Chains A and B, each alone.
Chain A
């Protein structure tokens, strides 16, 4: 059974940093492309970014609002995906989900972790 468990969310001040983790199990993590999606309170889904498998180059792509501030990485030895978030803004407040990506869709999702950016 595929399981994705996010952690690391919490309250942070504007301008601060936070690192989210996503622990994966039930599939071959090293072969998977992985994505982060966020959802502001009461709002819709927003794609944050994606990392390819190392076999496919391990490259990353980001949405414009987070490019240059957020970094996605992976540790295949730990079956864990990361989202390093720097220079956080109040508009980054959201539930952050990790998801597996196959072709053009996001197949399996974690339960999400809440990030609140507030002074």
Chain B
């Protein structure tokens, strides 16, 4: 199972919005609504920020939103803040009864 495709890096200024894409196939992202997103700060464990394509867990800022179209899922962060600088990973269930992660995207807040 190949990793999902994410851009290696994105950047934005405070207050701006950015979008991170996550491209898979019809056997993973396109086939199931089991796409999730994780935020990871350096040296820390990942934190769930979006589940099931677009659901935001309790306590997660409403500046984070998720969507999906075809084989590509997207994470949008609005009103960028310095604390959003981190690595972001998408994940999807697959037809092989496994899960696959994206390669990760490093977000830099300028």
User: Could you list which residues of chain A lie within 8 angstroms of chain B, going by C-beta atoms?
Assistant: 35, 37, 44-47, 50, 61-64, 97, 102-112
Complexed CA–CA distance, A59 and B25 (Å): 26
User: What sequence of 0s and 1s flags, for each residue 17-61 of chain B, a beta carbon within 8 Å of any chain A beta carbon?
Assistant: 000000000000000111110101000011110011000010000
Complexed CA–CA distance, A111 and B92 (Å): 22
Across the A-B interface, how many residue pairs have beta carbons closer than 8 Å?
67
Q: Could you list some 13 contacts between A and B, CB below 8 A?
A: A45-B46, A45-B91, A45-B101, A50-B99, A61-B98, A97-B45, A103-B51, A104-B51, A104-B93, A104-B99, A105-B51, A109-B47, A111-B45
- Do residues B51 and A97 form an inter-chain contact, with CB atoms below 8 A? no
User: Could you list which residues of chain B lie within 8 angstroms of chain A, going by C-beta atoms?
Assistant: 1, 3, 32-36, 38, 40, 45-48, 51-52, 57, 89, 91-93, 97-104
**Residue of A47, A105, A106, A110 with highest tally of chain B CB at under 10 A:** A105
Q: Report which of A44, A64, A103, A111 forms a contact with B52, defined as CB distance below 8 A.
A: A103
Cβ of A106: which chain B residues have Cβ within 8 Å of it? Answer: 36, 38, 46, 48, 91
Complexed CA–CA distance, A106 and B89 (Å): 12
